[in-house]
């Protein structure tokens, strides 16, 4: 966590219970943690296009909700790191729980009839979200995601690459997140001694956003690929500009 003594800026004194290692208002007077803020763009822009494409393709609403939920997480995190206000902190943390519940629902419903609704699972996840909102949140969500990925990759072994890449990005991001917390003072001293362009690469909480944002996006693709494959579509992974993965598919031809 950031030590006391950071400068104040446009949003006034910090009221959040967390203040990360990045120096406050070091880049601009209007953004408390600049790199921790702009790194959320990976969770905002690509999922919006994913949601639009899902609507055009006539996909099940759960996948539209998945993309939009990831966008809300990115926007909440943007607001939190930009202001370091407590109310914005809640806007950052709670959508993470809700979006994970949507991801879990999609994964567990991959092998069901089209447009089916599992009311029991839906009720359980909504209840879990309510409990977490009022009490606490923890590793249960991560455990559920791990279990759902295991189920799918056991049935479709060739999907392991995409599923495990998603989890690998989460784990790498989590490692960098801890390094940023534990060695904050050392990182700050290091940034003072090196050119800014090198110091930026040590903003590990920003890397956490990038890696987990990409991991979450890949998780949605993983679930969507599995679902459309089960529905006998022909999904294909394409790379926009040779870099960004998207899924294009054709419905089963009618005879």
**Residues making up the binding site for Zn(2+):** 81, 205, 209
Rounded Cα gap, residues 216 and 42, in angstroms: 10
Tell how many helices (H) and how many strands (E) occur in the chain. 10, 2
Instruction: Tell me the binding residues for Ca(2+).
Output: 19-20, 22, 24, 33
Measured in residues, the chain has a length of 255
Instruction: Tell me the binding residues.
Output: 19-20, 22, 24, 33, 81, 205, 209
What is residue 245's three-state secondary structure? strand
Rounded Cα gap, residues 34 and 41, in angstroms: 12
194: phi then psi, degrees, rounded to nearest 5: -120, 160
Q: Please list, in sequence order, all residues whose beta carbon lies within 8 angstroms of the beta carbon of residue 112, skipping any fewer than 6 positions away.
A: 118
Measure CA 254 to chain center: 37
Contact 97, 139 (CB under 8 A): no
């Amino acid at each position: 966590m950031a030590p006391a003594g950071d400068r104040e800026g446009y949003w006034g004194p910090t009221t959040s219970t967390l203040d990360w290692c990045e120096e406050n208002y070091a880049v601009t007077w209007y953004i408390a943690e600049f790199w921790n803020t702009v790194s959320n763009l990976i969770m905002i822009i690509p999922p919006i296009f994913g949601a639009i494409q899902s609507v055009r393709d006539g996909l099940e609403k759960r996948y539209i909700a998945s993309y939009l939920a990831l966008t809300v997480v990115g926007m909440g995190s943007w607001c939190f790191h930009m202001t370091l206000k407590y109310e914005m902190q809640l806007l950052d943390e709670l959508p993470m729980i809700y979006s994970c519940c949507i991801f879990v629902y999609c994964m567990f419903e991959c092998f069901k009839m089209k447009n089916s609704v599992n009311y029991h699972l839906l009720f359980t996840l909504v209840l879990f979200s309510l409990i977490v909102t009022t009490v606490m949140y923890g590793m249960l969500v991560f455990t559920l995601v791990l279990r759902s990925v295991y189920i799918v990759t056991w049935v479709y072994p060739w999907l392991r690459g995409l599923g495990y890449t998603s989890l690998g990005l989460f784990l790498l991001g989590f490692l960098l997140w801890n390094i940023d917390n534990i060695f904050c003072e050392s990182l700050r001293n290091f940034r003072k001694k090196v050119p800014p362009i090198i110091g930026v690469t040590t903003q590990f909480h920003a890397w956490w956003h990038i890696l987990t944002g990409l991991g979450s996006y890949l998780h949605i693709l993983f679930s969507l690929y599995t679902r459309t494959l089960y529905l006998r579509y022909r999904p294909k992974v394409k790379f926009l500009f040779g870099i960004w993965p998207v899924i294009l598919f054709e419905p089963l031809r009618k005879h």
